[in-house]
Structure 1
Amino acid sequence: MPQLAETEFHFQERSWTLKRFPFRKHDTLRAWDAADELLLQEVASKIRHDQTVLIVNDGFGALATTLAEFQIHWLNDSYISTEACRQNLQDNDHDENQFHWHNSLDWPDTSFDWVLIKLPKSHAQLEDQLYRLKSCLHADSKIIASAMSKNLHSQSIKLFEKLIGETHTSLAKKKARLLFAKAEHIEAAESPYPKQYSLEAYQLEVFNHAAVFSQQKLDIGTAFLLENFPKGNNAEKIIDLGCGNGLLGLRAAQLFPEADIEFYDESYSAIASAQLNAEQNHLMSKRLRFVHGDCLDQASDNSADLILNNPPFHQQHSISSHIAKQMFRQSWKTLKKGGELWVVANRHLGYHKDLQAIFGNHHIVQSNSKFVILKAQKNR
């Protein structure tokens, strides 16, 4: 049986209760990693109470909770990470209202003495963040990033050197490393994001903010579902679940002109990209609704006729199937009787077993050597 994750984080003779979000009783993954510990060891005794701190990409709030006594601005692209941080602050008797909260497209308009960054998985997201960070620096700002060694790549170091200044890294400790950058290139510069490409086959211009998956081309899973899109369905309400840039929902808007279309994602950048794509392709209307949240938590039960889903199998740097399973369970609740969930996924993930367990049925719509499109219907 897998070992359950510890929830008590001990540091400098103090301890905090830290949990991942959404909380799972039998979770095997901790809410912090060795990169968090190494970064805290470096800065916790050096930050003064009169100094300002910007924390970026703090996965579940471990950095924020541990450093809550300081003047913190907290920035993240993820709704789930934000809710985790808020919950961990509350669980450790900290006032979340003392924090300044920001998302990836709403950066603070002040400069900081300390900038603490957990390196994101996406190179594009890091590039966008460093462009935006420039206006938050002064000549004496201290910029420190942390990552597990396997996730700290040479291209990340080159980005810091190009956009921020002289950069060096620490020795590895518990398979984690720190990156130190000097605030040398602090003149304001515009981020090159969102990026744009054309999908002529569907008469769509596609715009992607930096944190959205598959920046400059159509990802092959979405392409496969677009090629095998539902037909002959008299759907009145369609949901693009985990919408990313919203292409599945926008294709539905083209093919089902009378249907209401809802877009759900936990990424601020994803929802902003989906809205931008609806506007730029002249598909924006009162029929479209964009929801930033945790899967389908904000959806009404028994309300949808069709749900389209290209589920993630990562949460930050960790591979996990729990998000997909949550999406499937909530899809069953959200669908009307007779409604259908269409899922495109890598074949090896074996989602047909989960759909069979939840819906009592599944059907393979189409498959190739890499992907499979599965359909499940709510019959009860």
Structure 2
Amino acid sequence: MDFDALRRHPDLEAPGLAAADAADRLILDESATALAEAAPVQGSVVVIDDAYGALALGAVAAGARGVRVHQDPITGERALRENAERLGLPADERPTSLPFEPELVADARVVLMRLPRALDRLDEVAGLIAGHAAPDVRVFAGGRIKHMSLAMNDVLDRWFAHLDVTHARQKSRVLVATAPRPDPSRSTPWPRSARDAALGLEVVAHGGVFAGTTVDIGTRFLLGVLGGAVPDAGTAVDLACGSGVVAAWLARERPGLVVRASDRSAAAAASAPLTAAANGVADRVDVARADGLEHLPDASERLVVLNPPFHSEAAVHTGIATHLFGEAARVLAPGGELWCVWNSHLRYRPMLERIVGPTREIARNPKFTVTASTRR
């Protein structure tokens, strides 16, 4: 397969950011025999957390048919679809994207996956595979060595009786797990919940959601000053909502306010409604899995709240914040405000001034700055 033909679009594209890497190639090479054996059986190959389609399309190139895929970011899902079209795959040979549910891995014999950065995500994925894949399933989970840890072995050991570690190649490695042990007692069920006593909120999260069932310190700092944000707004937007803490807090603190929350992550979009429900505000929090605010019309909102991520996969890049600031600017009505918390060393204020409009500092501590930017 021509890995160089793959693109990251519609995700961030920039010099030095590739759609496939050495870990993708190693996973496919280590699984070649297993793929060849499983290929004659329709739907026997599953791919999880493939960044932009290298694994899924590599499996198709190896002869697998009916490949089932789940990618957490909606942008990855769309990149896979675009890359399949770019490679000229017939429609009936293209991988099928499915939700993160038992149907995704039911009776699978081979699972290819990129190791997630969060151990909670790995635990939830491993538990789903162990509980619903075929008894002879072989899992090939790989990544860049700098992002791997021995704790990943421990997580897989909880769910599989046998774990092999491949030789390293080009700073990448693959863990091969077999003999699933589908025992729910090996791990706390997902999603999980925890109460934040200081905020009086119940936080519910699937594995891999930013900060899990805790409230990160940036969001906590933001909530401490958010009470004065556009107090007469009838609706608000929680952009990049994660577990839905901001959305639930806003809805609780402002009776009658409708909050439109969104995140590109499937795990986040599944967690935020649960957090809203756990706090009794499900009827006033609408959650969408979306790239930015693509589901909302121009100039339609008076308040957008954002704690922007700064990672695209493993890459740290300001282009992610630029995209989200642009989405907020498009959706804000003239005079509407974007309230944003950011790591002070990132110095986002000039960018906010340029993309959104006049920006004032609301609060600052040694680590974070909260600003309000008014749409021109």
So what's the TM-score if we normalise by structure 1?
A: 0.90
1:128-143 aligned within 5 A:
128-143=124-139
Question: What SS is found at the alignment partner of 2:282?
Answer: coil
Deviations 1:246-279 (A, max 9, x none): 1111221123323321001011111121101111
Give the drift of 1:217. Answer: 2.0
Separation in structure 2 between the aligned mates of residue 210 and residue 153 of structure 1, nearest angstrom? 17
Tell me if 1:349 matches 2:346.
yes
Name the structure 1 match of 2:83: 88
1:50 and 2:46 correspond = no
Show the 5 A alignment for 1:272-283: 272-283=270-281
Partner of 2:64: 70
Q: Considering only aligned residues, what root-mean-square deviation do their CA atoms show, in Å? A: 2.0
Matches within 5 A, 1:291-330: 291-330=288-327
Task: State the Cα distance separating 1:164 from its structure 2 match.
Answer: 1.1
Counterpart residue type for residue 378 of structure 1: R
Cα deviations by residue, 1:138-157 (Å, 9 ceiling, x for unpaired): 34322211100111210001
Match runs of 1:1-380 below 5 Å:
11=1, 17-22=5-10, 26-44=14-32, 46-48=34-36, 49-51=39-41, 52-68=44-60, 69-71=63-65, 72-95=67-90, 98=93, 99-105=95-101, 107-108=103-104, 110-186=106-182, 192-231=189-228, 233-285=231-283, 287-379=284-376
Provide the C-alpha distance between the structure 1 equivalents of 2:10 and 2:160, rounded to a whole number of angstroms. Answer: 35
Distance 1:226 1:25, change over 3 A: closer
2 CA distance for matches of 1:243 and 1:96? 34
CA distance in 2, matches of 1:339, 1:42: 53
The one-letter amino acid of 1:245's match is: S
Contact 2:343 2:368 in 1 (8 A): yes
Query: How far is the alpha carbon of 1:185 from its aligned partner?
Result: 2.0
User: For residue 5 of structure 1, what is the aligned residue in structure 2?
Assistant: none
The answer to whether the 8 A contact 2:362-2:371 is kept is yes
- Is the 1:105–1:269 contact (alpha carbons within 8 Å) kept by the matching residues of 2? no
Contact kept, 8 Å, 1:107 with 1:132, in 2: the verdict is no
Q: CA deviation at 1:30?
A: 0.6
Letter in 2 for 1:128: E
| Alignment check: 8 A CA contact 2:12 2:320 kept | no
Query: For the Cα contact (< 8 Å) 1:77–1:103, is it kept in 2?
Result: no
On the 8 A contact 2:248/2:285 being kept in 1, the answer is no
Structure 1, unmatched stretches of 5+, are: 1-10
Query: What is the alpha-carbon distance in structure 1 between the residues aligned to residue 362 and residue 97 of structure 2?
Result: 43
Unpaired stretches in structure 2, ≥5 consecutive residues: none
Seen in structure 2, the aligned counterparts of structure 1 residues 39 and 273 have a Cα distance that, compared at 3 Å, is: same
Distance in 2 (CA, whole Å) between partners of 1:81 and 1:273 is 19
Q: Alignment partner of 2:341: what SS?
A: strand
Contact 2:10 / 2:75 at 8 angstroms: preserved in 1? Answer: yes
